[in-house]
Amino acid sequence: MTEKTRHEKRKLSLAVQIFIALVLAVAAGLLLQNHAAFASTYIQPFGTIFLNLLKFIVGPIVLFSIMAGIVSMKDIRKVGAIGGTTILYYICTTACATAIGLFFGNVFRGLFPVLETSNLSYEAAEKTTLMDTLVNLFPSNFLAPLYEGNMLQIIVMALILGFAVNMTGQYAERITDGITRLNELFIKAMEMILKLSPIGVFCLLCPVIADSGAKILGSLALVIAAAYAAYFIHVMVVYSLAVRTLGGMNPLKFLKGMIPAILFAFSSASSVGTLPINMECTEKLGAPREVYSFVLPLGATINMDGTAIYQGVCSIFIAACFGIQLTMPQMLTIVATATLASIGTAGVPGAGIVMLTMVLQSVGLPIEGIALVAGIDRIFDMGRTTVNITGDASCVIVVSNLLKKKLASWAEEES
């Protein structure tokens, strides 16, 4: 055994490093509960720097990885098959997620605290219409989507440019080679940034625990418990069944392979920030690049199963605080609204709160109730982001397996 091999065996895996950082962050956060300002001022900025580095690399990674995937596919049938299967899967799992959230909200309803609602106020965000969402899909400037981190517009750019490359005839090979090299460059930069993950996790999570530790144990503890119970069941039942039956993979293997992304998503509460790690995890699970390079960026933008669960639990909690009993038609309306809103609010900052506003308005609940949960939204967000990115990865496994024969036959045709 060489010295290099022995060194690699001694080296902790990224998942173990992130887990240790997470445990240390919780311990340090609890110790700093009386010094939350210190944690926010001197620890959180280093976490923000790490997130900024991730956001910097995500735009180019998405742009060039999707372009590389399209120029390698050369057949629009592949893009249509992957895209159509992906969107159908996301819609189905989001509907299931909302239903599970409502179920657990009703199970816990009798235990929820009834909080004072007479002095609440909340200003609803401006509604985004279906046509506005459609228009906002298409960029008006080449650099703006990368600057703003607008994932949907970056995906549209990559699709247009990728198809354009395939239509350039004699120059296609040269351009394809350039795209592949740029993609490899940004992947290498991503690997460098990911080595800082343990530091980023510690610096992001420690201030949250220092600031919100007492609130977690306070009057809203049962609301948080209901949401996290629903998160857990959705992952262990819906995703596990999908991965087993449609993806042809052992759910334990899937979840074990996803540990680095899950831990990072929980501590950072950023689906887009977790995207590079999610790509790495799904690649190690055997997914082809042409699938994960398209499915994951799209999922990070429009797939919001965790957020849908949050809508269901919070709707029941807010209704209970106002003494309102939701009817079955109202609950079905919540399922439909949350499912469609997950796509309609794609790319909107604070999409969880925007979605909750739409859901409450759809069944006539007072939107002022959002103020009851807004203070601990970050605690909900950590769990819902974890669910969201796990759902994205499960979709990659399912799409890869369902389209395996088609992708292979199309590849043979091209060769």
100's CB contacts (< 8 A; 6+ apart) are 230, 233, 234, 238, 309, 312
Among 15-24, 114-123, 286-295, 299-308, where is mean pLDDT lowest? 114-123
Q: Is the pLDDT score of 251 beyond 60?
A: yes
Among 59-68, 360-369, 401-410, where is mean pLDDT lowest? 401-410
pLDDT at position 6 is 52
Of residues 340 and 324, which shows the higher confidence score? 324
pLDDT band at 80 (very low <50, low <70, confident <90, very high): confident
Rounded to whole angstroms, the Cα distance separating 325 from 308 reads 20
Residue 327 structure tokens: 């009817």
Share the mean pLDDT of the chain. 81
DSSP 327: P
Residue 160 structure tokens: 């247009």
* CB-based contact 18:260 (threshold 8 Å): yes
Rounded to whole angstroms, the Cα distance separating 383 from 214 reads 18
| Cα angle for residues 179, 56, 133 (degrees, 5° grid) | 85
Rounded to whole angstroms, the Cα distance separating 159 from 212 reads 42
pLDDT at position 347 is 47
Torsion sign (Cα): 59, 60, 63, 65: negative
Q: Is the pLDDT score of 260 beyond 70?
A: yes
pLDDT at position 116 is 56
For 133-175, what is each residue's pLDDT tens digit? 678 778 899 888 888 777 778 888 988 898 888 888 777 788 8
pLDDT at position 248 is 92
DSSP 149: T
Model confidence, pTM: 0.77
pLDDT band at 97 (very low <50, low <70, confident <90, very high): very high
Rounded to whole angstroms, the Cα distance separating 365 from 60 reads 41
Q: Which residue in 360, 393, 342 sits closest to 92, CA to CA? A: 342
pLDDT band at 122 (very low <50, low <70, confident <90, very high): very low
pLDDT at position 75 is 62
Among 1-10, 72-81, 192-201, where is mean pLDDT lowest? 1-10
For 284-310, what is each residue's pLDDT tens digit? 999 988 888 888 888 887 788 888 898
Q: Which of 241-244's residues contact partners 24+ apart within 8 Å by CB, and which partners?
A: 242/89, 242/93, 242/394, 242/398, 243/394, 243/397, 243/398
Rounded to whole angstroms, the Cα distance separating 387 from 164 reads 35
Rounded to whole angstroms, the Cα distance separating 50 from 268 reads 10
